[in-house]
């Protein structure tokens, strides 16, 4: 009884929160945009700005993995592999061919997406843990290739002097905050991409596969095709992020893309709330900032970090922001109009 009551209360709270956000969405969006755009002028040190950029990077990685894991229900433990492919391809394109950042980043993302397709094809019949193990293997294979393919990847020495992106003749750096703004643009674009995809038949197909694959098949959804699509989109986003990371940090080596990175991304997705877009930002903000904020605890901070994850899974398994919307379903504009019209017609006939 008590538990049900509590559940009802939290639902009410969510509804109130959501209606508040819906009502004031323009001012809320405006203020957040102003804060984000104004951050560089608030006198933060280089170090803090760099953390903000890392939060942005991990938001993008989480958004990418979220398409696959959060919406389609395919758990990948090898996203560091796609991240590395994006980073290396883009870096090599700009180092060896002098391609500018945009071309290099898209090249990296496309190659990552192709690899996503290649990974998905043999694994379409695998489910749950089996799929996770295959993706785990993929991540390790990519690392091994990077270490051993000396001629192209320069082996364990890694790639140095990766050029910073320049746009409109201006070189974007950490000092002039160009990298920060580029990060904002990329995060915005990727968020937009995810939102557009999810609110369509494609997003519903993804979710139906996660919810009940057999039922999805029996509704005529070509589940293999949609699973492959989820892999491709997820790898594409991760690849772009890799390209951005490489040009920000300027130096990459195979050990920048270990299994730890894959687990960190999936922790963010779960911590923030699988299958939500809002959760990815909070998840990465907390999990990336945490080790930095608690530096005074020295090595003990990782104990606390682990403890936070454990407590989180115990008391809020759906993730920090992983609630289901309690607002009514958002009908397409055209539907609202035609329903309104119908109501009016009904009223008219009643009056007559």
Partner 1 sequence: MAYLKVNSITKQFGGLVAVDKVSFEVEKDEIVSIIGPNGAGKTTIFNMLTGVYGIDSGEITFDGTPIHNTMPQNIVDIGISRTFQNIRLFPNMRVIENVLVGTHIRTKYGFIDTLFRTPRYKREEAQKTLRAIEILNSIGLGNRINDYAQNLPYGEQRKVEIARAIATDAKIILLDEPAAGMNPQESEELLRFIRELRDKGYTIILIEHDMNVVMNISDRIYVIDHGKKIAEGLPADIAGNQQVIEAYLGGVKKDA
We find the least distance from the C-beta atom of residue 222 to partner 1, in angstroms, to be: 6
User: Of 23 and 199, which has the nearer Cβ to partner 1?
Assistant: 199
User: Of 229 and 287, which has the nearer Cβ to partner 1?
Assistant: 229
CA distances from 303 to 72, 309, 313 (A): 32, 10, 16
User: Of 33 and 196, which has the nearer Cβ to partner 1?
Assistant: 196
Q: What angle do CA 93, 94, 95 make, to 5 degrees?
A: 95
We find the least distance from the C-beta atom of residue 90 to partner 1, in angstroms, to be: 22
Residues 138 and 81 sit within 8 Å (Cβ to Cβ): yes
We find the least distance from the C-beta atom of residue 216 to partner 1, in angstroms, to be: 7
326: burial class by Cβ within 10 Å (0-12, 13-18, 19+)? middle
CA distance 60 to 194: 10
We find the least distance from the C-beta atom of residue 232 to partner 1, in angstroms, to be: 10
Which residues lie near partner 1 (CB under 8 A)?
Answer: 193, 196-197, 200-202, 204-205, 207-208, 211-212, 214-222, 229, 324, 328-329, 331-335, 338-339
We find the least distance from the C-beta atom of residue 234 to partner 1, in angstroms, to be: 15
User: Of 247 and 276, which has the nearer Cβ to partner 1?
Assistant: 276
Residue 34 neighbours by CB distance under 10 Å: 10
We find the least distance from the C-beta atom of residue 218 to partner 1, in angstroms, to be: 6
User: Of 11 and 171, which has the nearer Cβ to partner 1?
Assistant: 11
Indicate the angle between helix axes 278-293 and 46-65, nearest 10 degrees.
140
Closest C-alpha to 131, from 228, 216, 264? 228
We find the least distance from the C-beta atom of residue 127 to partner 1, in angstroms, to be: 16
CA distance 136 to 227: 18
CA distance 131 to 114: 18
CA distances from 51 to 134, 209, 292 (A): 32, 36, 8
CA distance 89 to 192: 25
177: burial class by Cβ within 10 Å (0-12, 13-18, 19+)? middle
Indicate the angle between helix axes 128-148 and 259-272, nearest 10 degrees.
140
We find the least distance from the C-beta atom of residue 336 to partner 1, in angstroms, to be: 9
Q: What backbone phi and psi angles, to 5 degrees, belong to 252?
A: -130, 150
**In this structure, what DSSP letter does residue 156 have?**
G
User: Of 164 and 278, which has the nearer Cβ to partner 1?
Assistant: 278
We find the least distance from the C-beta atom of residue 246 to partner 1, in angstroms, to be: 26
β-pair type (166-167, 170-171) = antiparallel
CA distance 315 to 296: 27
User: Of 6 and 211, which has the nearer Cβ to partner 1?
Assistant: 211
User: Of 29 and 335, which has the nearer Cβ to partner 1?
Assistant: 335
User: Of 254 and 275, which has the nearer Cβ to partner 1?
Assistant: 275
């Amino acid at each position: 009884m008590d538990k049900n009551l509590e559940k009802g209360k939290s639902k009410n709270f969510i509804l109130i929160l959501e209606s508040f956000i819906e009502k004031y969405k323009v001012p809320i969006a405006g203020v957040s945009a102003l804060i984000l755009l104004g951050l560089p002028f608030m006198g933060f040190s280089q170090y803090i700005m760099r953390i903000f950029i890392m939060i942005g990077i991990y938001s993008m990685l989480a958004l990418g993995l979220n398409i696959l894991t959060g919406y389609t229900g395919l758990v990948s433990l090898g996203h560091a592999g796609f991240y590395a492919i994006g980073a290396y391809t883009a870096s090599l394109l700009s180092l060896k061919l002098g391609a500018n950042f945009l071309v290099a980043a898209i090249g990296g993302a496309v190659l990552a997406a192709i690899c996503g397709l290649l990974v998905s094809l043999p694994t379409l019949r695998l489910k749950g843990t089996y799929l996770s193990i295959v993706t785990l293997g993929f991540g390790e294979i990519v690392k091994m290739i990077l270490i051993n393919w000396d001629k192209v990847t320069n082996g364990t020495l890694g790639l140095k002097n990766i050029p910073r992106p320049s746009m409109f003749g201006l070189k974007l750096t950490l000092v002039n905050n160009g990298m920060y703004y580029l990060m904002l643009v990329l995060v915005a674009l990727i968020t937009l991409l995810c939102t557009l995809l999810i609110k369509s038949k494609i997003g519903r197909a993804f979710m139906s596969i996660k919810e009940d694959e057999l039922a999805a098949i029996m509704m005529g959804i070509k589940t293999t095709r949609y699973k492959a699509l989820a892999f491709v989109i997820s790898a594409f986003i991760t690849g772009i992020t890799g390209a951005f990371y490489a040009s920000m940090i300027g130096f990459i080596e195979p050990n920048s893309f270990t299994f730890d990175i894959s687990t960190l991304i999936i922790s963010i997705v779960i911590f923030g709330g699988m299958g939500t877009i809002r959760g990815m930002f909070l998840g990465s903000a907390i999990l990336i900032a945490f080790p930095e904020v608690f530096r005074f605890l020295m090595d003990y901070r990782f104990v606390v970090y682990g403890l936070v994850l454990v407590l989180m899974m115990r008391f809020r398994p759906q993730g920090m922001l992983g609630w289901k919307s309690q607002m009514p379903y958002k009908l397409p504009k055209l539907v609202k109009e035609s329903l309104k019209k119908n109501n009016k017609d009904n009223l008219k006939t009643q009056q007559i």
